[in-house]
Amino acid sequence: MSNQILVVIEHLKGNIEDISFEMLGKAKEISSNTGGELVALLMGNGVDGMAGQLGISDKVIYVDDENLAEFNPQAYCKTVASVVADMQPKLVMIGNTSMGMDIAGGVSVDQNMPFIAYVSGISGDGNTITSSLYGGKMNVDSAHTGDGCVVSVISGSFPADAGRMDGSPSVENATAPDLSNLSLQFKQLIEPESGDVDITTQEILVSVGRGIQSDDNLPMVEELASKLGGAVSCSRPIVDSKWLAKTRQVGKSGLKVKPKLYLTLGISGAPEHIEGMKDADLIVAVNTDPNAPIFDYAHYGIVQDIFDFIPALNDKL
Amino acid sequence: MNIIVPIKQVPDLVEELEINSSGTDLDREWLKMKLSEFDDHALEEALLIKDDQGATVTAIALASDDIDKALFAAAAKGADRLIKITGVEGSSTHEAAKAMANAIQNIDYDIIMTGVQAVDDRDGQLAVLLAHYLSVPHVSVVTGVELSGNKLVVHKEYGGGMVAEFEGTTPIVLGIQAAKETPRYVPVAKVRRAMRSSSIEEVSSGDLGVDSGSTVSKMYKPESGGGAEMIDGSAEDQASKLMEILTQKGVK
């Protein structure tokens, strides 16, 4: 095992995703404490220029292959596993993102390494790894028992600015493993349909979750949003139930928003939702469960039945 | 077309969660369990394919307290075959995935669909681990599957509502984020009928030889991140106080 930390860089449409800088910043902190080298793994086709944004790393390993031009679970798993096999890093950091979820477990099995998922914290020495489980209601500290470990890090757990540094780290070109026989092929990226309302530009969002129980209860929420001069947004279950359009969804697989007021009604605050709204200027949460994780992120909390609270607030407006 | 759907029960998060006396796991004595919601979506997607073009749907699960009920509920919804894997002591996803892989190796299958994640899979999501133990390709965070023969078009969701489209062939493992339709509901009476009319096959987990590779030192409720200032009183009082705050902050 080497004393290196490997951070898998994620990029889409030519942009390095924030999760990469968040992990780089944290990895730098650990490597400064433990004396190891911070290595960024960049994969793609003709994207070597991105290395200039990875100045915080001691070294960039760049793998260029036409089969890596777009993310592909099969191609990326094979490539990361082959780099890990060569390097034997003590820590492999991968985003707990859509792309990362298709890499981390594969590397764990293929390289017989421990894997700790949903990581929201890592101690300065890299030895204690905290996962956010049970919809954000419990934290679990783990220590791995292997020589190295794969972790998947929840977006927004560490500040991105700490890892954002331009520079010219040394770039080592590595050859991709044989990717000629992929049974899985990338076809296209489908952009989201534009909705009637762009929730990312709204100053006031009234956001509903599972607690709304039925789409019959949406009109009172719409009334509230309109009286406040804002729009209605929601958490994932509301979209899965087809009560609101995908364009209204806030969170990991939805949109990131930063309104002046984010008022949540019946949202418990699972990490996937928190990712999308925690930077709002003013967060007010209403939920019947006093232990709902949303109250850890809200500025003001109201424990109340939303069906009593919404009409009461509507009356005041 | 044979579709296998691994399912599991997870704690119902609506209930208050308590930590056990060793401080490393939930107190499970009074814990209310329910089918993992993503597994419910995976089952629904499989059943939609069955409804649309015909398929044999097999629900498979590791033995646990409430699992028979969950398997019979799957049968009541339309699953054709129920399998329970016995002999897995640990609770890690690595062990679950290896046990599933051992059992599934002896079954004809084209697609394995399971929930993209669960609320308690600390050592990783089942779909990808299982795919690698079986050495078949995988796609996670799937929100759409279209089949024609042994070819399939899969939609994988990225952030911001962006979707990546992949083309693959069976066999494949899919981690389902959301089915095309809201998962169907079955009344209890229908589950009871399924308990009489269908049976659960039991298979042994076989040799595992894997574990999570990590140990839990501590479970705890997250500290309030600064925490919210709580507004107490009746709904009426709370609404009034919130109005004052919004006015004072210049939001309203």
Q: Looking at the predicted structure, is the pLDDT value of residue B6 above 80?
A: yes
Q: Which of B13, B93, B210 to mutate to test the interface with A (most CBs of A within 10 A)?
A: B13
Residue A180 domain-assigned (yes or no): no
* Closest CA in chain A for residue B12: A134
Fold of B2-204: Rossmann fold (3.40.50)
Cα-based distances in Å from B59 to A2, A308, B4, B40, B79: 43, 41, 6, 11, 6
Judge whether B20 and B26 are in contact, CB under 8 Å.
yes
Does residue A187 form part of some domain?
A: no
Contacts of A285 in chain B (CB under 8 A): 228
**Per-residue three-class SS string for A90-115:** CEEEEECCHHHHCCHHHHHHHCCCCE
Q: Are A254 and A155 in contact (CB under 8 A)?
A: no
Asked if residue A212 and residue A102 are part of one domain, the reply reads no
Q: Which residues face B114 on adjacent strands? A: B175
Q: Which of B122, B137, B231 sits opposite A117 (nearest CB)?
A: B122
Is residue A98 a contact partner of residue B140, using CB atoms and an 8 Å limit?
Answer: yes
Range of the domain at A259: 199-316
CATH of the domain at A149: 3.40.50.620
Dihedral sign for Cα B6, B9, B14, B17, please. Answer: negative
Strands of the A231-234 sheet, one edge to the other:
A231-234, A204-208, A261-265, A282-287, A300-303, B229-230
Spell out which residues of chain A touch residue B220, defining contact as CB-CB under 8 Å.
138-139, 141
Q: In angstroms, what separates the C-alpha of B196 from chain A's closest C-alpha?
A: 31
Closest CA of chain A from B197, distance in Å: 31
Q: What is the dihedral of CA A10, A12, A15, A17, to 10 degrees?
A: -40
Partner residue opposite B17 with nearest CB, options A105, A128, A138: A138
In this structure, are A145 and A221 located in the same domain? Answer: no
Residue A225 sits in a domain whose CATH number is 3.40.50.1220
Q: Read off φ and ψ for residue B26, nearest 5 degrees.
A: -70, 150
Domain shared by A26 and A158, yes or no: yes
Q: Give the contacts of A314 (CB within 8 A, at least 6 positions apart).
A: A220, A223, A224, A227
Partner residue facing A302 (CB), from B131, B217, B231: B231
Whether residue A186 is contained in a domain is answered as: no
The residue of chain B nearest to residue A193, with distances taken between CA atoms, is: B161
Nearest to A247 by CA among A203, A206, A197, A189: A197
A133 interfaces chain B, CB cutoff of 8 Å: yes
What pTM did the predictor assign?
0.92
Residue B225 has pLDDT above 60, yes or no: no
Q: How many CB atoms within 10 Å of residue A217? A: 17
First to last CA, chain A: 63
Residue B174 CB-density burial (10 A; 0-12 exposed, 13-18 middle, 19+ buried):
buried
A269 touches chain B (CB under 8 A): no
Phi, then psi, of B42 in degrees rounded to 5 = -65, -45
Per-residue pLDDT of chain A (317 residues; tens, 9 = 90+): 789 999 999 999 999 999 999 999 999 999 999 999 999 999 999 999 999 999 999 999 999 999 999 999 999 999 999 999 999 999 999 999 999 999 999 999 999 999 999 999 999 999 999 999 999 999 999 999 888 999 999 999 999 999 999 999 999 999 999 999 999 999 999 988 777 789 999 999 999 999 999 999 999 999 999 999 999 999 999 998 899 999 999 998 899 999 999 999 999 999 999 999 999 999 999 999 998 999 999 999 999 999 999 999 999 99
pLDDT per position as a tens digit, B147-165 = 999 999 999 999 888 999 9
Same domain, A36 and A82: yes
In a domain, A188, yes or no: no
Best of B41, B91, B110, B138 to disrupt the A interface by mutation (most A CBs within 10 Å)? Answer: B138
Q: Does pLDDT of B252 surpass 90?
A: no
Strands A300-303 and B229-230, bridge-based pairing: parallel
Cβ of residue B98 closer than 8 Å to a chain A Cβ: no
Residue that the structure tokens 């470990």 belong to:
A149
Whether A184 is covered by a domain: the verdict is: no
Instruction: Kindly state whether residues A165 and A210 are assigned to the same domain.
Output: no
A128, A137, A192 member nearest B13 (Cβ):
A137
Q: Do B26 and A138 touch (CB under 8 A)?
A: yes
**A286 and B215 Cβ atoms separated by less than 8 Å:** no
Looking at the fold, whether A149 and A263 belong to one and the same domain comes out as no
Residue A179 counted as domain residue: no
A141-151: b (≥16 Cβ within 10 Å) or e: bbebebebbbb
Sheet holding B163-169, edge to edge: A185-190, B163-169, B151-157, B138-148, B172-176, B111-115, B2-6, B56-62, B81-86, B200-204
Interface check for A220 against chain B (CB to CB < 8 A): the answer is: no
User: What is the pLDDT averaged over residues B213-234?
Assistant: 87
Q: Is residue A203 part of a domain?
A: yes
Q: Are residues A105 and A238 in the same domain?
A: no
Token pair, residue A263, equals: 């008022």
DSSP letter assigned to residue B60 = E
C-alpha pair distances (Å), B103 with each of A280, A294, B53, B66: 48, 40, 26, 20
CA–CA gap between residue A261 and residue A252 (Å, rounded): 19
Question: Chain A: nearest CA to B212, how far in angstroms?
Answer: 6
Put simply, the answer to whether A105 touches B221 (Cβ < 8 Å) is no
Query: For position B98, what pLDDT does the model report?
Result: 97
CB B161 within 8 A of CB A249: yes
Cβ contact A185–B166 (<8 Å): yes
Q: Cβ B158–A253 below 8 Å, yes or no?
A: yes
**How many A-B residue pairs are in contact by the CB < 8 A criterion?**
265
pLDDT in tens, B24-61: 999 998 899 999 999 999 999 999 999 999 999 999 99
The verdict on A164 and A231 lying in the same domain is no
Same domain for A146 and A206, yes or no, is no
Q: Does B216 touch chain A (CB under 8 A)?
A: yes
Task: For residues A131 and A223, state if they share a domain.
Answer: no
B164 reaches A (C-beta below 8 A): yes
> Within an 8 Å CB–CB cutoff, is residue B116 touching chain A?
yes
| Contact across the interface for A296 and B227, Cβ inside 8 Å | yes
Burial of A175 from C-beta contacts in 10 A (0-12 / 13-18 / 19+):
exposed
Nearest to A118 by CA among A145, A96, A88: A96
Q: What is the largest CA-CA distance in chain B?
A: 67
Q: Name the residue among A142, A108, A103, A106 with its Cα closest to residue A126.
A: A142
Contacts of A106 in chain B (CB under 8 A): 128, 131-132, 138
Q: How are the residues of chain A apportioned to helix, strand and coil, as percentages rounded to the nearest 5?
A: 35, 30, 35
Number of domains in chain A: 2
Query: Which residues from chain A sit within 8 angstroms of residue B9, using beta carbons?
Result: none
* B216 contacts in chain A (CB < 8 Å): 140-142
pLDDT of residue A151: 98
The reply to whether B187 touches chain A by the CB within 8 Å rule is no
- Best of B41, B166, B215 to disrupt the A interface (most A CBs within 10 Å) is B166
pLDDT at A54: 98
Whole-angstrom Cα Rg for chain A: 21
Do A35 and A165 belong together in one domain?
yes
Domain stops at, among A139, A174, A209: A174
Task: Give mean pLDDT, residues B103-119.
Answer: 96
pLDDT of residue B67: 95
Listed in sequence order, the residues at least 6 apart from A204 whose beta carbon sits closer than 8 Å to its beta carbon are A225, A228, A229, A230, A231, A259, A260, A261, A263, B251
Whether the pLDDT of residue B15 is over 80: the answer is: yes
Distance, in Å, from the CA atom of B55 to the CA atom of B46, rounded to the nearest integer, reads 8
> Which H, E and C letters describe B2-43, residue by residue?
EEEEECCEEECCCCCCCECCCCCCECCCCCCEEECHHHHHHH
A148 and A269 in a single domain? The answer is no
CA distances from B138 to A66, A85, A118, B59, B104 (A): 20, 21, 20, 19, 15
Of B124, B140, B235, the CB nearest to A304: B235
pLDDT for the residue A304: 97
Report residue B224's pLDDT band, with 50, 70 and 90 as the boundaries: low
